[in-house]
Every structure is written in structure tokens, then in C-alpha cells.
Structure 1
Amino acid sequence: MAQYVINQMDTFHGDVSFIGIPYEAFERTGHWSLWGVVRMFEAARLIGLYNGLFYYKSMEGKGIGLVVITQAVRLSPDLHRDYSLFKTLKQRYVLDIVEVGRRSFSFVTRLTNEETGQFLGEILLKYVLIDRSTRKSIPLPEAFLEKYSKHTKKEIKFRKLSIPSCPDMGKNVFKLKVLPLHSDTDRNNHVNQSGYFRFCIDCATDAALAGNYRHFTSDMCWYPVLEMNVYHANESLVNEELVVNTWQDNEDFRLIFFIIKRKDTVLFKASFLFYPEMSKRKRNSRM
């Protein structure tokens, strides 16, 4: 884990700072990768959960894990444009539990530049508990439901991007086959949620280079992602061939859709809203 400082932590609220961005979080353009960004948000959440947030540490057992089922993401284009290799950033993540149900709980994580207060991103995420042996979701313990039953839902301001069904036929849908490897998995022995974002950007780049998109014709890593709505429908294991499908909205060229399947089973659905201008090359990143 990168160096971090816990500024505040209780059952409903967390505040964590990181010093610097891990080298592996950057992609080939020298900018902070989308999958690296969501992975850092994940790190902040886990630090919170293992240090008192939601009393999760006392709930987790050897056979129990956490799985992401939905994500709504809002990112500043500055996150991609301004923070490249060799530029320091003191990240501050503020976490708040916003909703607790019988089988799931949700919270918002907000990222800012701690030194300037600049807003960089925010993720609303829903988790479920799973039994690692059956791979099925399980209810939250009754004691936790009683403790959190009176917790009021905070106001959540996220635009809802629709995720349409994948068109059945037509040249407008681009497909990419991917094979998840052991290095793509996490403690739940399935593909980590950040891996799907990498698969999507790889597929989008191939689609852009092949001429399947309007406006976007080069490496999609150069374009900041502004918003995403994501639904994780099923899990993917090692050596299971997946097909990533992507196509562009007919009216808004910035809006690109993804559906990832294993044969006929849908695993992942998402809408990505891209910034229309490429981030500039950074001299100090040598890229």
C-alpha cells in the first residue's frame, strides 16, 4: 500500500490522504490511467473499511468478501490533464456511508488535491457481501442492520447515464476478445473491478483506430473520462474468454457504451462520457 495518513475515521465517515501516485497507475501516455484512478479509490475505501468504517473488519470472515455491483463516477478533466509522471499530488479522499440495505451498502468517495482543495473526482459505489465458497450474495448481519437502520440517506448528485442494450447486428458495434490472467484477479479470485475499465479503454482504442467512432480516431488513453455509470452483473474468472462490445451514441459523440460478455452471459455494462479534447503531452513526463 502506498504511504497514507488517516485524518479521521468513524463508522459513517472517513478521511484519508495519500502522498504521491504509484508508478503503475500511469499508462502509456504518461497520464494517470482510468483503471489506476479507480484502483486508488478502491485503496481509499479498503483503508476505511479496515480501520473502523462500517465496522467491516469485525464482519469479514475467511469465507466472506466484498463485491462491487454498481458505480456512478464523476471525474474532473484536470485529473488526467494535470497529473502526469513526475508531478506530485497529495490526494485526499473523503468517504461517507450514504445508504444501507439488507444485502448491500453504498457510500460516496470524494477526491481532492489536499494542498489546493481542487475537486478531482467522486464515486458513488454499492457493495454486497458474498460467500466466497458459493459465490452468492448474503444478507448483512442483523446487528449491523439494527445499528444502521436509522441512518438517513444523504443527498446524492450524480447524473444517470443510460446503458442501452447492445445492438444485435451492424458495423457500428466493435468487438474485442480478451483473456483475463491471474494478474487480473484480486482477493476474491475473480477479475478486479479496475480490470474491466482497462478492457474497455483497450477496446475503445482499437475501435477508434479502426474508424468505428465519430470524432475519436486515435489512442483513447489521451481523452479524459468525465462520467461513467457501471453495472457489474456477474464475475469473471481466470482464463475465461471475454468479448468486449462497444458502440457510440447516435446523438452525443462523447458518449460511448460497453458491454462485456462471457459467451451469452453479460458480466459488465457501462456508459462512458469522454472529454472531446486530448490531454496535452507533458514535457517533464518525456512522453
Structure 2
Amino acid sequence: MATHVQEYDVVIDLQKHQVESHFPGISYDDFDRGGSISPWKICRMFEAGRAIPSIVGNYLDGNTLTTDKHALFVLGGEYYFDPCLWDVARKFNYFPYKVTLETINLGQTSVTLRQVLINKLDNKELATFYLKMVLVDRISRRPTTLPSWYQEKFKDVKGRVGDQAKFLLNSQLVVPEGAFQVERQVMPSDTDHNGHTNQGSYVRFCLDAAQVANKAGVLEYVQGDICLYPVLKISISYKGESDSGDRLMTHLWQDDLSPQMLHFATYREAKLILVATITFKSRPHTLSRL
């Protein structure tokens, strides 16, 4: 079944390898139980900022690269959230926004991108996402070399210095003894068109696990619901895949030096599939005078 895409305003600059996707606003479902825009919904906004240009304009040649044998997967990335994000939905009666997307580096098997979520009413940058996408062989599930025509097309961004995706790739991760554990089952609605758990769902799993740990009295500094503490940064790296019906075990623990940083390691059976760190504001959010 073909995907129907609303006529969003999408502006693509092929020479600069940049694109802007414009969205009319957010919905009730985008808010969390604390009244702020949910971080995992922002992850979905960034996903839409990649998917829409690919569908309507074949940006990054995603439609060309995606075949029966190959697909582009997100390997990991870092989200940065500006403090003003937690007031924007209260400050404005409606919230039209745009997501910019820029190719900033090219490797042998991967492409590094930068996305920015911008409030169109005051042009403030609300969140930024640096990510790396990798071309994967569908059979072996291993990275494969980008075709020569693709490397030629994006040769001007190859080896660029500057902003890079600095996501966690720590293969020496050791889960501390006594780390809190939360188990959950992946539901069909947690998965995407690639047939595995959606990246936004993993962020939701981590945030849910954090609140379970909080209610169990594990977190030192949190008073009340953890969703009242704004998220400042999410670093995430995907080590494997999971699908509907899989049971996942998430281990989480506070950073020894900065307790507002929570570390997560998620396993499917004995296989590590996710490493993440979420940094929260050390105090709950108070509504700014507007």
C-alpha cells in the first residue's frame, strides 16, 4: 500500500544538500502527562522531517537506495533540547514549525545529518538532532558500502569537519551491579514500516523506565513525576533490532558524578540492542512569565 502524504510545504536545495519541511502545528496527542511536548514526540517530528522530503522529493536518494536488498537505518544520534521548548506550547495558541535537514558528512557506509526544529512564530531553534544513517544489507543486517554514484553526488560533503554526530558507541559498556531493571513487551504499534521497533518508541521506553525507577525510589534528586524535569539531551545508539512480541529488559542507573544523567542499556534476551543516556534538568520546570 502506498503512503499518502499531505501536501506539506517542502523546500529542497540540491546544491547545498539542505531541505526545509513546514508543518501546520501539533496535536493534543503530542503532549505528555505534565503538559509539555513529549520528548519522544519531538523524535517523531524529526523523523517526519526526514521522511516527508524523502517521500515527496527523494531527498538523500532514500527511495533509490531502498531496495529489496538494502535499506537506510538510523545508527544513532544526539538530541539537544533548548529550555524554551518547554514554554512554547503554553506561550502560543498554535505552533506552526519547520524542520530543517542538512547533510554534513559522508562516509563509506553512512551519511551524517543535522536537523533543527524551529518555531515559525519567532524563529527560535527549539531542538537539534545530529544523526548518522547507515546503508544496511537486509539479509546480513550488516553495513554495506554506499554505491559509487552516491559518493560522487555527495562528494562535496565528504570529510567535512565541524558538527558531527557524537552518539554513544561504547562497546565496553558495563552495566553496574544493582542497576534497576524494567521489562516490557514490544507491541505492534511500537514498530515502523521497516518491521522493527521505531526509534521514537525506544525513547518512550527509556522515559517510561525512568519513571518506574523514580516511583520505586531509585532516583535521588527527583521530586514528583520525572516528566516535570525537562530533558536537555538524549544520546542514543542502536546496537540491534527488536520486533513486535519481543520482550526487552532495560537496565538503568544514575551517573556517579551527575545524578541528573540516566544511563540505559536495553537487551533482547542476552543481546544488547540499545545504549542511551538522557540528561534531565536538575530542577523541575516552572512556567516562565510570558
Q: Is this a same-fold pair by TM over 0.5?
A: yes
CA 1:158–1:54 in 2, change beyond 3 Å: closer, same or farther? closer
Structure 1 contact 71–126 (Cα < 8 Å) conserved: yes
**Which of 97, 102, 106 is the equivalent residue of 1:91?**
97
Asked if 1:143 corresponds to 2:149, the answer is yes
One-letter code aligned to 1:111:
L
One-letter code aligned to 1:180:
V
Computed over aligned residues only, the root mean square deviation of the Cα atoms, in angstroms, reads 2.5
Count residues in correspondence.
280
- After TM superposition, the runs of 4+ consecutive aligned structure 1 residues lying more than 4 A away are 157-164
CA 1:109–1:10 in 2, change beyond 3 Å: closer, same or farther? same
Summarize the alignment of residues 175-186 of structure 1 with structure 2, pairs less than 5 Å apart. 175-186=181-192
| Match in the other structure for 1:199 | 205
| Match in the other structure for 1:100 | 106
One-letter code aligned to 1:219:
D
CA 1:235–1:114 in 2, change beyond 3 Å: closer, same or farther? same
Shift of 1:227: 1.1
Asked if 1:242 corresponds to 2:248, the answer is yes
Shift of 1:159: 7.3
**Which of 9, 32, 35 is the equivalent residue of 1:27?**
32
Give the TM-score normalised by the residue count of structure 1: 0.88
Shift of 1:280: 4.3
Distance 1:176 1:154 in 2: 40
Q: Which runs of 5+ in 2 are unaligned?
A: none
Give the TM-score normalised by the residue count of structure 2: 0.87
Asked if 1:269 corresponds to 2:275, the answer is yes
| Match in the other structure for 2:64 | 58
Distance 1:71 1:120 in 2: 17
Structure 1 contact 81–280 (Cα < 8 Å) conserved: no
CA 1:2–1:118 in 2, change beyond 3 Å: closer, same or farther? farther
Distance 1:174 1:2 in 2: 43
Distance 1:192 1:99 in 2: 24
| Match in the other structure for 2:47 | 42
Mean Cα deviation higher: 21-30 or 149-158:
149-158
CA 1:106–1:192 in 2, change beyond 3 Å: closer, same or farther? same
Q: Taking every aligned residue pair, what percent have the same amino acid on both sides?
A: 27
Structure 2 counterpart SS, 1:83: helix
Distance 2:31 2:70 in 1: 32
Mean Cα deviation higher: 109-118 or 194-203:
109-118
CA 1:277–1:81 in 2, change beyond 3 Å: closer, same or farther? farther
